[in-house]
Amino acid sequence: MLTGPDHLRVALDVIGIFAFAVSGGLVGVRARLDLFGVAVLAWTTGLGGGVVRDVFLGDVPPVGISDPLSVVTVLVAGLVVVAVYPWLAGLRRRNPGLPLRGIGSAVRHLDAVGLAVFAVSGSLKAVQLGAPPLACVFVGGITAVGGGAIRDVLVGQIPEVLRREVYAVPAVLGAAIIVVADRLDVLGAAVIWGTVVLVVAIRVAAIHLNLNIPTPPDQGVRP
């Protein structure tokens, strides 16, 4: 979907799907799903946003159920979670002081790459299919955060993306930049890749600065 060096494009896409699928698989394990459920959660998280994107754009069957590379990436991520998780647990049991935060941090940074790539490639696909500008921004945002939202609903939780952190906003911003660049006729590889980098940068800054969107107070008024 992204223009530019094909290897880089595919690699980033696979990284994004993989990172999202790992987060889905972990949520599945913690929710005590069986192996099939963990695979479904990895798939939902890695490819669910793109499925909604394709349904909204009328490009069916969705890539998320058609493309072997995407599905294999998700299944490998699920297997990694299931295989690595008990091993990590054993490791920590034998070394109680072991810091495992490096792994969590790596997953969060890869997830930022996925967020950026999905937002940009989602809005780009919408632009290329001739969707109205506003729809292109929505589609980019939904591609980026939709999979994680479905993941949370499936395990009975309110989607994280609605509750805390600066997560969806950089994605929507990235999608909007793509749309504006298209209207200004400057949508080339430089803008596309620059936008990916910008979204990653904002998201990573939000992680490190622990930024949150304000939560409006609930003061118990029931009008």
- Report the site for its own copies in 95-154 (rule: CB under 8 A): 100-101, 103-104, 107, 126, 131-132, 134-135, 138-139, 149, 153-154
Shortest CB 40 distance to its own copies, Å: 6
Spatial CB neighbours of 143, under 8 Å, sequence gap ≥ 6 = 49, 50, 52, 53, 118, 119, 121, 122, 123
Closest distance of CB 5 from its own copies, Å: 26
Rounded to whole angstroms, the Cα distance separating 4 from 70 reads 20
CB of 142 vs its own copies, minimal distance in Å? 8
Which residue stretch of 112-120, 159-167, 178-186, 189-197 sits at the interface with its own copies (rule: CB under 8 A)?
159-167
C-alpha of 162 from chain center: 14
The reply on whether position 67 binds its own copies by CB under 8 A is yes
Long-range contacts of the stretch 119-122 (C-beta < 8 A, 24+): 119/143, 119/144, 119/170, 119/171, 119/172, 119/174, 119/175, 119/199, 120/2, 120/174, 120/175, 120/178, 120/192, 120/195, 120/196, 120/199, 121/1, 121/2, 121/13, 122/49, 122/50, 122/53, 122/175
- Answer for which of 8, 35, 189, 197 binds its own copies (CB under 8 A) is 35
From candidates 10, 11, 158, 189, binder to its own copies by CB under 8 A: 158
What's the min distance (Å) between Cβ of 193 and its own copies?
26
Site for its own copies in 165-184 (CB under 8 A): 168-169
Of residues 8, 11, 36, 201, which one binds its own copies by CB under 8 A? 36
Residue placing its CB nearer to its own copies in the complex, 80 or 204: 80
